Amino acid sequence: MQNHAKGYETSPRWRIRSSPTVTRSSVDGLIASLQRWTAVDDGQSPSATLQVKDFWNLNSKSSSSTVGETSLQAASLLRCLFQGSPSELFPTRHAPMRTLVDLPTELLTQILLDAPPESFNVSRVCKRLRQVVTGIPQVWTHVSNYLTTTELKLSIARSGKEKLFVSLYAKRGDNSKCMPFLPLVLAHGKRWKEFRFEANEFRTEFFTEIFRFYEVLEKRVCFPVLESLHLQCYHPDYRSDMPRRYNWPKTTFFWGRWELPMLRKCYISSVLADIKSQCPALQGEELTSLQIDYHKDRMSFEDFDKCMQFVGGLRHLRDLQITFYKLKTEGNGLSQRIRLPNLEFLCLRFAPHAFRSRHPTALSLLEELMSSIISPRLSQMVLQFESPMKLAVMAYLQRIPYSILSTLRRLYIQFREPAFGVCLLLPHKVAGC
């Protein structure tokens, strides 16, 4: 894409995205614990004089090490300590093999914080682990309907006042139930931080229980600290599950009337037409990240239009990701423009058959969609397409008026089958022009 307007750089720049990073403080804390563990009483051993800064790659230009580098160095250090081979790390010292009993509680606690939702399995390994893990409330915060009633009550009690991560599953072959799970966890709704609902099998008994549960469907329930909502409510083979699901339109929308004033992140994968209607659960001002896999767009352009208008009402969004499955090209286009004044990141994913239409104007909807989304703060955009559309999409991108992309700083284009991706840093306006 070329731009000849005065005051703009016209040469695109290429850049390889670096690995994720970790903070120095988190690793320094781990090393400090290891130092105290390996140090001897007289303070004269080589381990006592080991400096934390030696753990870092001082030749690196970055102030923090990559995850890969940190993992390798930490693994090497721990391996030396546990294998009883201190000569690899401290050649002048000879010490017996370290065991789990020797591990200080503070270091073991940090390791066990990664245990959820396997807290019960960890507690059954040995007395030492049971003693430590039962005293860490954060380890018991993940609860689901896969737990027995006894395990659920124990988890809630041991979690103390920590925030809860609640999961409700209805997956093929798991024979899970939602009773008495829902009444027990809803009693602690003020502590919910995340709720996950994953259903890939429509079982009449399971959803009938939800439908009949008065507190969920009919009464407004407030979750004052819930920040994340993950809703995956469809059968992977969409067509095989569609007839039965439409007979129970309210059962998978039981969350719609919830009051979530602190909701920040939401993922919805559904066939529900209710998504396009008023939904109190998604009207909070804190909602800044939304991801939608809206299978309803397979049915008609009207449904797609209404879904987009619903998204347009969420004016506080900064991160929006939408997956399209079968875009219809009939109709007169979107009824009105979508204004998202705070949107900074936009990701549009198009399923393999999204553009396989007999209409020659299949790309017109993409063009209309991009021109209809008005976001003055949009700086990053990701487009994912089926590989046969590569030439057509690239040709379209070359025709986009620069005014549409004037605020973009990064555009990532990915084509699947085979995987091919390009990250393009776009021209930016020179200060003062």
What's the pLDDT score for residue 319?
Answer: 94
- How many residues are listed for the chain in this entry? 433
Question: Distance between CA atoms of 29 and 227, rounded to whole angstroms?
Answer: 28
Long-range contacts of 275-278 (CB under 8 A, 24+ apart): 275/307, 275/310, 276/303, 276/306, 276/307, 276/309, 276/310, 277/310
Question: Distance between CA atoms of 431 and 50, rounded to whole angstroms?
Answer: 48
Question: Distance between CA atoms of 24 and 32, rounded to whole angstroms?
Answer: 12
What's the pLDDT score for residue 431?
Answer: 36
What's the pLDDT score for residue 59?
Answer: 40
Long-range contacts of 143-147 (CB under 8 A, 24+ apart): 143/117, 143/167, 143/185, 144/117, 144/168, 144/169, 144/181, 145/169, 145/176, 145/177, 145/178, 145/181, 146/174, 146/176, 147/181
What's the pLDDT score for residue 198?
Answer: 86
- Which residues have C-beta within 8 Å of that of residue 323, sequence separation ≥ 6? 292, 293, 294, 349, 350, 351
Question: Distance between CA atoms of 232 and 292, rounded to whole angstroms?
Answer: 10
Segments in the chain below pLDDT 70: 1-108, 110-112, 114-116, 202, 214-219, 234-252, 270-278, 294-304, 326-335, 352-368, 386-407, 415-433
CB 105 within 8 A of CB 129: no
CB 147 within 8 A of CB 119: no
431: number of Cβ within 10 Å: 6
CB 117 within 8 A of CB 131: no
CB 355 within 8 A of CB 362: yes
What's the pLDDT score for residue 215?
Answer: 60
φ, ψ of residue 416 to 5 degrees: the values are: -100, 160
What's the pLDDT score for residue 48?
Answer: 34
Task: Write the DSSP assignment of 385-408 as a string of letters.
Answer: EEGGGHHHHHHHHHHS-GGGGTT-
* In the chain, % of residues over pLDDT 90: 12
φ, ψ of residue 142 to 5 degrees: the values are: -95, 115
Print burial letters for 299-308: b (CB count within 10 Å at least 16), e (below 16). Answer: eebebbbbbb
Peptide bond into 180 cis (omega under 30): yes
Query: 234 is written with which tokens?
Result: 């469809």
What's the pLDDT score for residue 166?
Answer: 94
Per-residue pLDDT of 172-187, as tens digits, reads 778 888 888 988 998 8
Tell me the pairing of strands 410-416 and 380-386. Answer: parallel
Amino acid code (one letter) for 36: R
